[in-house]
Structure 1
């Protein structure tokens, strides 16, 4: 029987464990921070649960546009307020329950779960420093490193867990901030800024770039920035943070141009750093890049024979879905099952703002740079009948297809529940469907997904 030791219980680790046991391996998983990792305990599950509350507030804010008022004529949104303590209690309870569910599943499938910190002792062994202070050496035929990443901080902007916060520390807030400053306009920064804005918090976003979401589709970023500024968010573009300091109940963010912004709380969204230090990786022959990320190939192998890696610690694509696939691929490869190398061109992702931004496949930037030849169609959701019924005026569907054969290469959806609407486009990209095949698939009338078929019809060439 093949012995596998997995260090880290996030999506890369626990999905790998389930595949390995299914294929007959003996699996030990060493985890120090809660099964599910940051995706379940401190990041994806908590943040999207918070965002679910914000989404409800966003929906209610548009109630009068659809003719919904209280009997005295008042706007429903005017009578609602967010109880942040109750929201965060629910957030933490759901995260804990999800973590417990995953751990129970692992145990049912025969995975030995050890609570502690793991480090490599050469390429074929892991030393687990257990919670009771003892150590246990685990010999292995193969090791998977799936230790994730942690929020990046700076000496000039150190979190205190009370007023200056990383995105993992926001769930202990019991009172609504009187003015929230978010530093960082990437996906994490925008998601929190958008959520707290919807919950009724005045928000200032500090962005070092000329637009928000610099890594996302430019058209989508323009729509989102227009929406959040229209709703009252202050966006400080081309504004680089120099320092963040606290004085009593106030926080001051100083910018490199001499300006200063003062608020009650600050969330730092400055990116992530891998959790690979002091793990014996280099000594085991595992090569790290300059940022400390583990270098892997497309089947999750590191430079050390028998050592694989998956998830955020590899820096390949920091999504839970990618981490999970990397972990599965590692075990399929190790244990001789059918395996296809990781293909990032088929990864779908979503920004959980209001509206959401979902993408898959090639990007507009790649097309504009001449890296990919593609025909492009962009269709505003404002023309969609279901969108009109729901009072949705912002958003669009964009499709990319290969000239000639018309194969769908990618797409962008901006709108409510874009994370759900992107799925037919993801299927088209994954299965090499043509725009005509996508167009000729029946859609419900009226539906938001009808805009995907309509955009595909506009790509038809005789």
Structure 2
């Protein structure tokens, strides 16, 4: 019979859960993980990774269609094979799922597949193919994640009204697509389908797209997406959505308060998430706010021995935040169990980067210019455009910029914001800088390699102090 007593049981195997389990195992704790669906959770199987595979296909299609801009000729028609694009994306997800399976075996983590329900702070039942198992542990980590929020008047049906999950494995290519919500998920799918040749309309309730980003980034992105052929409606709302035989009829109220009914072949709803905290047995064990489990800086809930991490806890709801929390919580548990070698540090939310993989890409960390002013900082901010960067011009990717925000009195880097080619790879330079509590002085003294797009990071720091060299 399989073991039923552990030091730690992790409920959920997404990027928070499986990383927490690995760290627990590394620290010598007897660890189990409970998963109802697929190891790797949403991120690996239905989120971050397979969407990047889809977006890469769209990017290659875009380059192929613009081959003449690079002095190249491609004979014959260039077209997308939707089935093959989706098949490649699913293959990438499968490879990573198998990778997590291997990591569980390598770290001797017991995997219990099935629906886990807490029966107390440190005990749970698992209903799976083997029937019902009763498991106990000294500590339990809840990492149950979240799911897409439905429109109250038009729940997703997988046929005409999609969530991100349906949008990743479409049965057919939309002809005219409505995307409701312009956060990272909405804008990435809008970008993918637009590049695949679909007529795309984005409706955003707030007054600008990607509303959590710096206002300059939002304005630049809206111009680029409009130029690419998208219809962007900000300060607008979908008041009603009716599914028909041919598609959906949407009643959209624009920013001037005028409502019109428009027909689309399909609709993607990307209006936020709902935590998976119902029917898990949490009701009397934890405090919740709108379904999100309330925790301290190390992941503790109000019940001794019960911890929570990731998307079922307060935001930002990002995979890398969940993974980081997983490590912190694992180390805090090891410390409680007597390990004197571990020194867990709470997560500093100011240093969590955000990335959106549309075309052009967006990446940021820290405070926007507006938020820095709101917080009472006297600031110095500077922007450097990619058009002043040799590598960006050589790549044919001269659309974009880097913006940095500093505290005028101390020189502390408060925030960095980028839009353009490969900025999701570059942002980590500023994240490291912020984590090391850098000022403009260290960044100015840093030697950036030439020719790279990253030189625009250096130039934006110089621009903040009126010292930019190439504009």
TM-score by length of 2: 0.92
Determine helix, strand or coil for the equivalent of 2:347: coil
Q: How many residues are matched?
A: 453
Query: Is 1:350 matched with 2:355?
Result: yes
- Residue aligning to 1:307: 306
Query: Is 1:29 matched with 2:29?
Result: no
> C-alpha separation between the residues in 2 aligned to 1:371 and 1:137?
53
Return 5+ residue gaps in structure 2 as ranges. 336-341
- Residue aligning to 1:268: 269
Match of residue 98, structure 1, among 73, 96, 99:
96
Return 5+ residue gaps in structure 1 as ranges. none
Describe how 1:313-352 pairs up with structure 2 within 5 A: 313-336=312-335, 337-352=342-357
Contact 2:151–2:269 (Cα < 8 Å) also in 1:
no
Displacement of 1:2: 6.3
- Residue aligning to 1:150: 147
Match of residue 138, structure 2, among 129, 141, 144:
141
Query: Is 1:67 matched with 2:77?
Result: no
- Residue aligning to 1:85: 83
Contact 1:84–1:174 (Cα < 8 Å) also in 2:
no
- Residue aligning to 2:112: 114
Match of residue 235, structure 1, among 218, 228, 232:
232
Contact 2:412–2:440 (Cα < 8 Å) also in 1:
yes
Query: Is 1:452 matched with 2:457?
Result: yes
> C-alpha separation between the residues in 2 aligned to 1:410 and 1:246?
43
Describe how 1:355-434 pairs up with structure 2 within 5 A: 355-434=360-439
> C-alpha separation between the residues in 2 aligned to 1:405 and 1:212?
32
Determine helix, strand or coil for the equivalent of 2:93: helix
- Residue aligning to 2:58: 54
Displacement of 1:62: 3.8
Contact 1:157–1:245 (Cα < 8 Å) also in 2:
yes
Displacement of 1:315: 2.8
Query: Is 1:186 matched with 2:183?
Result: yes
Displacement of 1:61: 4.0
Name the Cα RMSD after superposition.
1.8
> C-alpha separation between the residues in 1 aligned to 2:234 and 2:419?
22
Match of residue 46, structure 2, among 42, 55, 65:
42
**Alpha-carbon spacing, 1:90–1:70, altered in 2? closer, same or farther (3 Å):** closer
> C-alpha separation between the residues in 2 aligned to 1:169 and 1:423?
31
Displacement of 1:461: 8.5
Contact 1:12–1:327 (Cα < 8 Å) also in 2:
yes
Contact 2:67–2:74 (Cα < 8 Å) also in 1:
no
Contact 2:383–2:463 (Cα < 8 Å) also in 1:
no
Contact 1:224–1:355 (Cα < 8 Å) also in 2:
yes
> C-alpha separation between the residues in 2 aligned to 1:21 and 1:370?
41
> C-alpha separation between the residues in 2 aligned to 1:104 and 1:181?
40
| Larger deviation, residues 319-328 vs 208-217 | 208-217
Determine helix, strand or coil for the equivalent of 1:169: helix
> C-alpha separation between the residues in 2 aligned to 1:402 and 1:258?
44
> C-alpha separation between the residues in 2 aligned to 1:89 and 1:244?
31
**Alpha-carbon spacing, 1:180–1:12, altered in 2? closer, same or farther (3 Å):** same
> C-alpha separation between the residues in 1 aligned to 2:62 and 2:213?
23
Displacement of 1:295: 0.6
| Larger deviation, residues 395-404 vs 45-54 | 395-404
> C-alpha separation between the residues in 2 aligned to 1:339 and 1:12?
16
Contact 2:364–2:427 (Cα < 8 Å) also in 1:
yes
Contact 1:410–1:426 (Cα < 8 Å) also in 2:
no
Contact 1:15–1:324 (Cα < 8 Å) also in 2:
yes
> C-alpha separation between the residues in 1 aligned to 2:410 and 2:64?
45
